A and B are shown apart, each in its own frame.
Chain A
């Protein structure tokens, strides 16, 4: 209950943060921009919209995690409110966990808002496509709407898009049309990825300033995205030397370092299935990816708890 109370409080605090709204506004702008950008293309318009949309949701969510997340603990320390909390019968780990969960709740809600908006854009775009409109206008203008106008058709399409987007979100992506398949799956994977990144944000903010924390969290994000390349760097050394036994001493060290770095840093590639979204494919549920994400986030949080526990607030 204590953890939950802190989480709810963190969530309330986060939604009052102006950065959040700026980022959300920017996200909406980008999602609409995807539609505009696609008109520059002479082929693959659908793909471009979907690519840009899911990437925008992912990028904005990462920025929210970094810029909202890193200030959470620092603010309590800066405003001395931490003293009123730690003086209560509440463990430091509970405080940290509460902060993390509150932050994750904020991020998840934001990702879902962006996803909802993107789904609504895709549904609406589908409804007003030439083929669908030409099929439907006969009904909308003639029978159902009693000779209504095209404006009425647009309003009906807009409302339908909103309801269908809600349906897709509530069904966790099980309800879809061809226009939106895979989008919800990509968003859920983004939330999973953010579990790891937010854990890093909490870890770094447990011992450093917000600026440094933001820098370190972004670095962790970049390393996580390049994880596979770090692993392949070692492989490349071996293949260039035509066998492990031909490696020089320095290269052997580089090989083991790359291996160690690859296994110790998070592999965020596991949560990147955005290419499937572009191909209009559903994203299959991967329980191992879920376990990996949650497990890795738990490890980072545990380290954060140890550091935070040993920290002197004076």
Chain B
């Protein structure tokens, strides 16, 4: 082998120098796209060719080209994908092309839906893409789930969600929580009885298949369903009250006049738990008598409806006053009831508010400290240190951080954590031992303990006159592991 001579070395050195100049030119002049450097949004200026043209040109490497476009889409999305005219159609076309090249690339439908719907707010295009994905991949339940999700929370079109639900039902492995979203869609449409029936059918379905865990989750879902229903009934009563007196009620008791709030039929959690117990014993029988069981869950509700989560309903006067002074006049009489009478609350929601506010404040303190390397002043925290809705107040003391304590907390939460305050159906921050638990169910799905699970809480509430007119439910047998009075009750007949 011969070594390089001087001329060759000079030639190679010259070539290297020219290459270095080229690289410099590339760096300074060619790679000037701001989006690529992360300092500006990527603006799509050219429309892609039609899929049929690209398919011919791909010469059988369709999947490969789809992958390339997908990687490109990811980079573009990372750079804040925009189009010259501001429309989302070019973005839809981009994903349409990817999925024409590879119709079974389910990730592309999901990602495209996320960009179109969640990021750009074009829910219709997002749903169109998902619908195409479902047609090409009918067994991929996640696409149907995305369709339901986008319809409900994006497009706010629960009827469309029910169409996607039909697709979800056809897929084999669709998890129960996706199917249960149908109940939520019906509830949103204001069709509470249909939502209830839907959930009941699901629960019995699971029991019939021996899927006790899923059935128990379905049972828990009734709480949310009934909560919406009862609150809606309270809002209807508030509307009648408003029509009669041209004012909003001061206290919830003012609604309990039979003229304002006539008795109505609705299911109760207590009845549903009874049905659950009976259906668990003989699911096939329950399936045969589905109609009768649905009817058996109903009972006349007179006055204050029982909060399915175990506390009680009331009018949040602070919210009501703020609503009346700021918004009431602006809301049309044809607006949904929950916009016109938004002030109904359950006691359990208060502690949630306390916890949420504490978390918001902690986050503010953390951000402030990261930016300024110091704790915020008392003035900075003034917006947070107000009275809490549970009768306590919020405390801010940065010195406590040296002792390992939170710098911001509410005295109510502290009292709850120390066991000096009833839990109001919640576990507070430190999660004391659960009085109730369902075997085999993950922690995050366990039922929240209600006020009824703690005799001390019941006494506390009763002592303050909060349980007037509230019926105290019996302990469900499936939770307490026996001793429930409902377990042996006869099956309601049709």
Task: State the A residues within 8 Å of B (CB).
Answer: 37, 40-44, 47-48, 51-52, 55, 58-59, 222, 225-226, 229, 268-269, 272, 274-275, 278-279
Docked complex Cα distance between A122 and B107 (Å)? 20
**B329 contacts the other chain (CB 8 A):** no
**B277 contacts the other chain (CB 8 A):** no
Q: Which residues 182-220 in B have Cβ within 8 Å of A in the complex? A: none
Docked complex Cα distance between A226 and B105 (Å)? 22
CB nearest neighbor in A for B61: A55
A278 near B102 (CB under 8 angstroms)? yes
A275 and B107 contact, Cβ closer than 8 Å, known pairs A41-B74, A226-B56: no
A43 near B67 (CB under 8 angstroms)? no
Listed by A's residue number, 15 A-B pairs whose Cβ atoms lie within 8 Å are A41-B71, A42-B74, A47-B105, A51-B66, A52-B64, A55-B61, A55-B63, A222-B59, A225-B59, A225-B60, A226-B56, A226-B59, A269-B60, A275-B63, A275-B102
A279 near B59 (CB under 8 angstroms)? no
B70 near A44 (CB under 8 angstroms)? yes
B67 near A52 (CB under 8 angstroms)? yes
A43 near B102 (CB under 8 angstroms)? no
Interface residue from A55, A268, A269, A279 paired with B64 (Cβ < 8 Å): A55
Interface residue from B62, B71, B104, B110 paired with A48 (Cβ < 8 Å): B71
Number of residue pairs spanning A and B whose beta carbons lie under 8 angstroms apart: 57
CB nearest neighbor in A for B106: A44
B60 near A268 (CB under 8 angstroms)? yes
Interface centre among A48, A52, A225, A226 (most CB of B within 10 A): A48
B104 near A278 (CB under 8 angstroms)? yes
Interface centre among B66, B67, B70, B102 (most CB of A within 10 A): B67
- Which residues in B have their C-beta under 8 angstroms from that of A274? 60, 63
A279 and B104 contact, Cβ closer than 8 Å, known pairs A44-B70, A55-B61: yes
- Which residues in B have their C-beta under 8 angstroms from that of A58? 61
A40 near B75 (CB under 8 angstroms)? yes
**B298 contacts the other chain (CB 8 A):** no
Docked complex Cα distance between A269 and B64 (Å)? 15
- Which residues in A have their C-beta under 8 angstroms from that of B64? 51-52, 55
A272 and B67 contact, Cβ closer than 8 Å, known pairs A40-B74, A278-B102, A278-B104: no
Docked complex Cα distance between A87 and B71 (Å)? 58
Q: From residue B19, how far is it (CB to closest CB) to chain A in Å?
A: 21
Docked complex Cα distance between A52 and B63 (Å)? 8
**B111 contacts the other chain (CB 8 A):** yes
Q: Mark B51-91, 1 if CB is under 8 A from A, else 0.
A: 00001100111111011001100110000000000000000
Docked complex Cα distance between A279 and B105 (Å)? 8
Docked complex Cα distance between A55 and B62 (Å)? 10
A44 near B107 (CB under 8 angstroms)? yes
- Which residues in B have their C-beta under 8 angstroms from that of A225? 59-60
Docked complex Cα distance between A226 and B67 (Å)? 20
Q: From residue A34, how far is it (CB to closest CB) to chain B in Å?
A: 10
Q: From residue A57, how far is it (CB to closest CB) to chain B in Å?
A: 12
Docked complex Cα distance between A222 and B111 (Å)? 32
A51 and B107 contact, Cβ closer than 8 Å, known pairs A40-B74, A42-B74: no
Q: From residue B84, how far is it (CB to closest CB) to chain A in Å?
A: 26
A47 near B111 (CB under 8 angstroms)? no
CB nearest neighbor in B for A233: B56
- Which residues in A have their C-beta under 8 angstroms from that of B105? 44, 47, 278
B71 near A47 (CB under 8 angstroms)? no
Docked complex Cα distance between A47 and B61 (Å)? 14
Q: Which residues 92-107 in B have Cβ within 8 Å of A in the complex? A: 102, 104-105, 107
B67 near A51 (CB under 8 angstroms)? yes
- Which residues in B have their C-beta under 8 angstroms from that of A42? 74, 111
- Which residues in A have their C-beta under 8 angstroms from that of B70? 41, 44, 48
- Which residues in B have their C-beta under 8 angstroms from that of A275? 62-63, 102, 104
Q: From residue B119, how far is it (CB to closest CB) to chain A in Å?
A: 14
Docked complex Cα distance between A279 and B137 (Å)? 11
A278 near B63 (CB under 8 angstroms)? yes
Q: From residue A173, how far is it (CB to closest CB) to chain B in Å?
A: 19
CB nearest neighbor in A for B110: A43
- Which residues in B have their C-beta under 8 angstroms from that of A44? 67, 70, 105, 107-108
Docked complex Cα distance between A52 and B65 (Å)? 10
Q: From residue B140, how far is it (CB to closest CB) to chain A in Å?
A: 11
- Which residues in B have their C-beta under 8 angstroms from that of A268? 60
- Which residues in B have their C-beta under 8 angstroms from that of A229? 55-56
B60 near A48 (CB under 8 angstroms)? no
- Which residues in A have their C-beta under 8 angstroms from that of B74? 40-42
Q: From residue B64, how far is it (CB to closest CB) to chain A in Å?
A: 4
A40 near B102 (CB under 8 angstroms)? no
Docked complex Cα distance between A48 and B107 (Å)? 11
Docked complex Cα distance between A229 and B67 (Å)? 22
Docked complex Cα distance between A58 and B60 (Å)? 10
A51 and B63 contact, Cβ closer than 8 Å, known pairs A40-B75, A41-B74: yes
Docked complex Cα distance between A81 and B84 (Å)? 64
- Which residues in B have their C-beta under 8 angstroms from that of A40? 71, 74-75
Docked complex Cα distance between A55 and B60 (Å)? 9
Docked complex Cα distance between A229 and B56 (Å)? 7
Q: From residue A64, how far is it (CB to closest CB) to chain B in Å?
A: 17
